[in-house]
Amino acid sequence: MTALSTKHLLGIKDLKPEDIHLILDTAQSFKEVINRPIKKVPSLRDITIANLFFENSTRTKLSFELAEKRLSADVVNFAASSSSVKKGETLIDTVNNILAMKVDMVVMRHPNPGAAVFLSKHIDAKIVNAGDGAHEHPTQALLDAFSIREKLGNIKGKKIAIIGDILHSRVALSNIFCLQKLGAEVMVCGPTTLMPKYITSLGVKVEHNLRKALEWCDVANMLRIQLERQDIKYFPSLREYTMLFGLNKEILDSLSKKIVIMHPGPINRGVEITSDVADSDQSIILEQVENGVAVRMAVLFLLAGRG
Ligand code: CP
């Protein structure tokens, strides 16, 4: 297989396992490229990409922009906070105006679930979902899978625990789809109030005891509490959350085996994870960030039909 089965990357749910393997294998080649003294290749020299960010981002925005530049694409950046969206312009009008400037691909982060799907039905350009509300964050799941494969050699048969605010997390949903398609066993762990009601229908194990989840898994992916998406109180206090679900060095060192620690960022140090765990030799958090560039290069390259 040398081409993706989809025109857009809207979510992991739409991908076949072969698509994911193709993206990860292509990313492996790009990882080699970005570690060379000359990190740039001419693969997308004739392509213009617009990065539309309607919601804050550090890692994803910088990573896409770097991936596009490493592939020699022309890049335009749009931040809703400093745009005519503030004057009432709609999503479709905003995007159509950008496309009138002859843009080939759109990378979009938006606070509303389904925004990328909506856009794909209304415009001709190829769309990459860079996170849509609490729905999906496909490139995060792909870079997480790449990082696990790189660290453990394989994903099939591995046990991955996703711990924290599952209810509000697009990273959790995309990771569940991705890891299951690659043959991993997935567990989610967190307070009952932060579990979606449909969670068992996804075929994951559900655990509410942090230690049991950590003893079970090979990899723990620690998620941030997304206070900005919480309109009501889901737990009494952050202090209580940390006491029950925060990962610290004492717990980590008391486990019967060495597990791999991941976090998509941004980290709330001292809440879901302590600094000594985040910065420990068991953590691959910065490797995830490095791999994000190679994975996004692979996604853009393949969607452009250059595979
Ligand atoms: N992991 C992630 O999506 O981080 P940003 O919100 O900073 O892009």
Distance 1 CA to ligand 1 centre (A): 30
- From ligand 1's centre to the CA of 298, what distance in Å? 18
Residue 213, C-beta contacts closer than 8 angstroms, at least 6 positions apart: 161, 163, 187, 189, 207, 220
Tell me: pLDDT of 276 over 80. yes
Q: Please report, rounded to a whole number, the percentage of residues in the chain having pLDDT higher than 70.
A: 100
Task: From the candidates 60, 139, 242, 274, give the one annotated as an active-site residue.
Answer: 60
Looking only at the bridges linking them, the beta strands covering 185-189 and 219-222 are unpaired
Q: Which of these, 34, 32, 21, 25, lies nearest to 63 by C-alpha position?
A: 34
Q: How far is the CA of 221 from the centre of ligand 1 (A)?
A: 14
pLDDT band at 3 (very low <50, low <70, confident <90, very high): very high
Beta-carbon count within 10 A of 227 CB: 12
State whether the beta carbon of 265 lies less than 6 angstroms from ligand 1.
yes
Q: Does pLDDT of 231 surpass 80?
A: no
243 alpha carbon – ligand 1 mean position (Å): 25
Q: How far is the CA of 4 from the centre of ligand 1 (A)?
A: 25
Q: Is 217 helix (H, G, I), strand (E, B) or coil?
A: coil
Catalytic residue from among 109, 110, 158, 224: 109
230 lines ligand 1 (CB under 6 A): no
Predicted local distance difference test score (pLDDT) of residue 294: 98
Top mutation candidate among 54, 59, 107, 295 for ligand 1, by most atoms within 8 Å of CB: 59
Q: What is the pLDDT of residues 117-146, one digit of tens each?
A: 999 999 889 999 999 999 999 999 999 999
Task: Answer yes or no: is the C-beta of 140 below 6 A from any ligand 1 atom.
Answer: yes
Mean of pLDDT values over 202-225: 97
Kindly report, residue by residue over 114-123, the tens digit of the pLDDT: 999 999 999 8
pLDDT at 86: 86
Average model confidence (pLDDT) across the chain? 95
Q: Between β-strands 219-222 and 159-163, what pairing exists: parallel, antiparallel or unpaired?
A: parallel
For the CA of 265, the closest atom of ligand 1 is: 1
Confidence tier at 252 by pLDDT (50, 70, 90): very high
Question: Quick one: tokens of 226?
Answer: 């997304």
- CA dist list (Å): 143 to 60, 102, 284, 285: 11, 29, 12, 11
Rounded-to-integer distance, Cα 217 and Cα 71, Å = 37
pTM for the whole thing? 0.96
Question: Do 77 and 51 meet the contact criterion of CB atoms below 8 Å apart?
Answer: yes
Report pLDDT digits (tens) over 40-88.
Answer: 999 999 999 999 999 999 999 999 999 999 999 999 999 888 888 888 9
137 catalytic, yes or no? Answer: yes
CB 213 within 8 A of CB 187: yes
- The pLDDT value given to residue 82: 82
Nearest to 107 by CA among 144, 71, 156: 71
The question of whether 109 is a catalytic residue gets the answer yes
